[in-house]
């Protein structure tokens, strides 16, 4: 066999091996661990923002169902903890609800590293309250006042209603977002209380009126989920208005994929995946899956706005109808 034929034969064998690997062959080509892996096999540790729990769980479960030799370990964390873990190389991939800030980018740059990233979905910070709370809408100034001082709001009958505030968790992404993007550095008032988790906040609001909890919309975005069904008759979303007359002019929005897409909900956030692993790694495979058709469809089905929506082709026949 000539040299060219031998080279071509070897090249063909290598291509077949790679194809089998990508299609989930019965015997994985790589060892099943965190370092020596492929886009569809091995082990991957992922730290994620707790507010995205239901969605990350679903993405990981679906990915592993597609690729039996892939093991994705997901760990809830604060955004700061997740970024620090990525920086320290104690995980290869994180999922958070904000881009890296300038300080974090400089820290990675000091290691001659720029993490790869993908924007994969849009969610938002939602305000929820008991179904019997006589408040349905707040404008942005009222939200600011609610967070910075003891707040009394007039209901639809012009009665004074004192509202208290709950946060999902100490140092959560929701708290950081409100501090940085809404209050611009102002301090939270003593009227604000921090609980241990989003579930605690939802349960408290469901049992107590005149309390508003700030949570990630992703927790209650899926109308088919058991958590949403258990609370839909006890908890309601508060619409956020654009100005002081929003209540009268109906210029307000609820968190939803539509208001995220149009940019009309003021507390919209983007979900990012950051990765420090190579292109031929399980981290890259999981990122590609979430940013691809399967992962994007999962976000849509669970009530978030995917960043990439498949195009639908509609053909219109303009020929005249034959009525004879």
Q: Is 213 helix (H, G, I), strand (E, B) or coil?
A: strand
Model's pTM, two decimal places? 0.83
* Contact status, residue 125 vs residue 215, Cβ threshold 8 Å: yes
225-280 tens-digit pLDDT: 999 999 999 999 999 987 655 555 558 999 999 999 999 999 999 999 999 988 99
* Contact status, residue 115 vs residue 274, Cβ threshold 8 Å: yes
Strand partners, 75: 47
Q: Rounded to whole angstroms, how far apart are CA atoms 159 and 222?
A: 34
Strand partners, 41: 38
Can you tell me which residue has the tokens 């100490």?
Answer: 170
74-106 tens-digit pLDDT: 999 999 999 999 999 999 999 999 999 999 999
Q: Rounded to whole angstroms, how far apart are CA atoms 126 and 110?
A: 36
184-198 tens-digit pLDDT: 989 999 989 999 999
- 26-39 burial, b at 16+ Cβ within 10 Å, e below that, comes to eebbbeeebeebbb
CA angle in degrees (0–180, nearest 5) for 156-248-242: 110
146-166 tens-digit pLDDT: 999 988 887 766 778 889 999
Domains and CATH numbers, the chain: 28-122+270-306 (3.40.190.10), 123-269 (3.40.190.10)
Strand partners, 124: 268
- In the chain, alpha helices (H): 3-22, 53-66, 79-87, 102-110, 140-148, 173-177, 198-207, 226-231, 246-249, 257-262, 282-291, 293-301
pLDDT at residue 70 is higher than 90: yes
Average confidence score pLDDT of the chain = 87
Tokens representing residue 110 in the block:
């000091």
Q: Rounded to whole angstroms, how far apart are CA atoms 218 and 73?
A: 20
Q: How confident is the model at residue 1 (pLDDT cuts 50, 70, 90)?
A: low
Rounded (10°) angle between helices 102-110 and 79-87: 20
307-318 tens-digit pLDDT: 986 544 445 555
Q: Rounded to whole angstroms, how far apart are CA atoms 132 and 54?
A: 27
Q: What is the pLDDT of residue 153?
A: 80
Phi, psi of 2, deg, nearest 5: -70, 165
Q: What is the pLDDT of residue 154?
A: 73
């Amino acid at each position: 066999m000539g040299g060219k034929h031998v080279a071509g034969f070897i090249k063909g064998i290598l291509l077949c091996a790679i194809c089998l690997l990508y299609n989930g062959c019965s015997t994985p080509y790589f060892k099943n661990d965190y370092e020596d892996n492929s886009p569809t096999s091995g082990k991957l540790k992922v730290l994620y923002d707790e507010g995205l729990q239901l969605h990350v769980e679903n993405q990981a479960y679906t990915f592993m169902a597609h690729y039996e030799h892939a093991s994705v370990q997901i760990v809830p964390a604060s955004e700061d903890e997740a970024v620090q873990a990525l920086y320290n190389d104690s995980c290869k991939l994180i999922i958070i609800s904000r881009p890296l800030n300038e300080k974090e980018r400089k820290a990675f740059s000091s290691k001659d590293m720029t993490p790869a990233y993908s924007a994969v979905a849009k969610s938002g910070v939602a305000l929820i309250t008991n179904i019997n709370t006589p408040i349905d809408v707040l404008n942005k100034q009222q939200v600011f006042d609610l967070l910075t001082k003891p707040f009394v709001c007039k209901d639809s009958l012009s009665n004074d209603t004192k509202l208290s505030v709950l946060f999902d968790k100490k140092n959560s992404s929701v708290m950081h977002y409100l501090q940085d993007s809404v209050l611009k550095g102002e301090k939270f008032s003593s009227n604000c209380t921090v609980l241990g988790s989003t579930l605690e906040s939802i349960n408290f609001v469901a049992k107590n009126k005149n309390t508003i909890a700030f949570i990630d919309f992703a927790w209650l975005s899926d109308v088919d989920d058991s958590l949403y069904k258990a609370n839909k008759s006890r908890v309601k979303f508060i619409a956020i208005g654009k100005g002081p007359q929003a209540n009268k002019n109906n210029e307000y929005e609820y968190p939803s994929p539509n208001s995220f897409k149009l940019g009309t909900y003021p507390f919209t956030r983007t979900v990012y995946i950051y990765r420090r692993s190579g292109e031929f790694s399980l981290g890259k495979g999981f990122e590609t899956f979430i940013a691809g058709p399967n992962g994007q469809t999962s976000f849509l089905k669970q009530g978030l706005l995917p960043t990439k929506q498949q195009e639908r082709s509609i053909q219109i026949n303009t020929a005249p109808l034959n009525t004879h």
